[in-house]
Amino acid sequence: MQTTSRLIPTLALGGALAFAGVMLAPDQADTQEPQFTINFGTAAPEGTPWAAQLQDIKNRVEKDTAGKVKVRLFLSSVMGGEVEMTQDIVSGGRLQAGGFSTAAVATGANVPALQLPELPFLFRSNEEVDHVLDTVLYEPMKKKLKRRGLYLAYWAENGWRSFYTKTQDATTLEGLRAHKMRVQESEVHKAMYKALGVQAVPIGTTEVLDALNRGTVDGFDNTTLFGQASGWFEPTKFYTLSKHIYQPAAIVYSRDFWTALEEAGLDQTVLGDRQKETEKGRAGVRALEGELVALFGDMGVSVVTPTQDQLKPFVDATKSVHDEFKDQIGADLYDSTQAALTAFRAK
């Protein structure tokens, strides 16, 4: 089976592999001692659009601050799992910033409301996602994260999560239930699997591939890009495009570190154009979706697209997750999201 290191560069992303020298070593080109150093952690693998965008941000920040701010990137979870890295930023530890899935930030920073975008079958299209995240959820989530020690800089993109399985596809509940699934360390994700009647084991990102290879679990759900770039797909045989959860990511900073940037007059230079960065991140990931799905056939993984009729039992079973988490997330925020979706769909 083709390895991940050969996969992503075939899609003209080889330039992002320059990150290999950035992960653990400082730049050699620095000409002055920086006023601030941003240690930035992420699970994003090398050679991906996520890594490429982070490299661009690093280059921009160091150039536009004339070396006053230095960015050190730590990719591929070398600083721990997403939840662990989020907690590190909150506590003022090794990291000052990071890019993580919203589920991980919700868990690591104890912000239940941030689970809202990841409710199963909440969204139907990218356009709905962008509208709700940008016009309904950004400001409320920014305030909630600030109270928990984080500054929300941008939304980023993980994408649509689907099921990877070993023995059969997941177009039916029975097919999915035949597997023990890895579940992200998120209360909403765990509740989804429970509602579907599926045995699931919470495992951090750094341990998933080993668990799949050992047979501790025999399936997982994640996006097309992450599934390939991480190599998690390799022990599986079926990829069912259920698209049951849209998962945003978030670029976050330590609140206290961001306050220090503000006091030094460097915060807006570090931030750049928020909307431009958000749109760039989304476009980079979405542009690869079709090509990456097509690659699965060459790697011995069967891609199955369920019909709406096949998905209906999944949708019906997970409606209870919305009811279960509505109050924990915040009824007002949930209701405003649903109202925005209803209005958007009526256009």
Query: Residue 164 pairs with which residues in a beta bridge?
Result: 220, 239
Tell me, yes or no, whether 93 lies in a domain.
yes
pLDDT of residue 115: 97
Residue 7 belongs to some domain of the structure: no
Q: For 144-160, how does the pLDDT look when each residue is reduced to its tens digit (9 = 90+)?
A: 999 999 999 999 999 99
Average pLDDT over residues 161-183: 98
Is residue 27 classed as helix, strand or coil in its secondary structure? coil
Q: CATH number for the domain including 197?
A: 3.40.190.170
Residue 339, domain member (yes or no)? yes
**Per-residue pLDDT for 12 more than 70?**
no
CA-based nearest residue to 118, from 177, 176, 169, 190: 190
pLDDT tens track for 15-57: 332 333 333 334 434 457 999 999 999 999 999 999 999 999 9
The burial class, CB within 10 Å (0-12 / 13-18 / 19+), for 66 is exposed
- Distance, in Å, from the CA atom of 347 to the CA atom of 339, rounded to the nearest integer, reads 13
**Do the domain assignments include residue 6?**
no
11 pLDDT above the threshold of 50? no
Mean pLDDT of the chain: 92
pLDDT (0 to 100) of residue 31: 55
Q: Which residues pair with 152 in a beta bridge?
A: 252
Structure-token pair, residue 222: 């994640």
Residue-by-residue DSSP string for 221-277: EE-HHHHHHTSTTTT--EEEEEEEEEEEEEEEEEHHHHHHHHHTT-HHHHH--HHHH
User: What amino acid occupies position 76?
Assistant: S
In DSSP terms, 101 is beta-bridged to 249
Q: Does the pLDDT at position 9 exceed 60?
A: no
Closest to 272 in 3D by CA, of 80, 18, 281: 281
Asked if residue 158 belongs to a domain, the reply is yes
CA distances from 243 to 50, 72, 138, 272 (A): 20, 34, 23, 32
pTM here is: 0.90
Q: Of 115, 25, 136, 121, nearest to 70 (Cα)?
A: 25
User: What proportion of the chain, given as a percentage, has pLDDT over 70?
Assistant: 91
What is the distance of C-alpha 236 from the center of its chain? 21
Structural domain count of the chain: 1
Contact indicator for 127, 341 with CB cutoff of 8 Å: no
Which tokens in the block code for residue 155?
């939304």
* % of the chain with per-residue pLDDT over 90: 90
How much is the average pLDDT of 47-76?
A: 97
**Structural domain that includes position 251:** 12-345
Q: So what's the pLDDT on residue 32? A: 75
Within-domain flag for 154? yes
Residue 3 within a domain: no
Instruction: Note the pLDDT tens digit of each residue in 248-293.
Output: 999 999 999 999 999 999 999 999 999 999 999 999 999 999 999 9
Instruction: Report if residue 5 sits inside a domain.
Output: no
How many residues belong to the chain? 347
Check residue 19 and give its pLDDT: 30
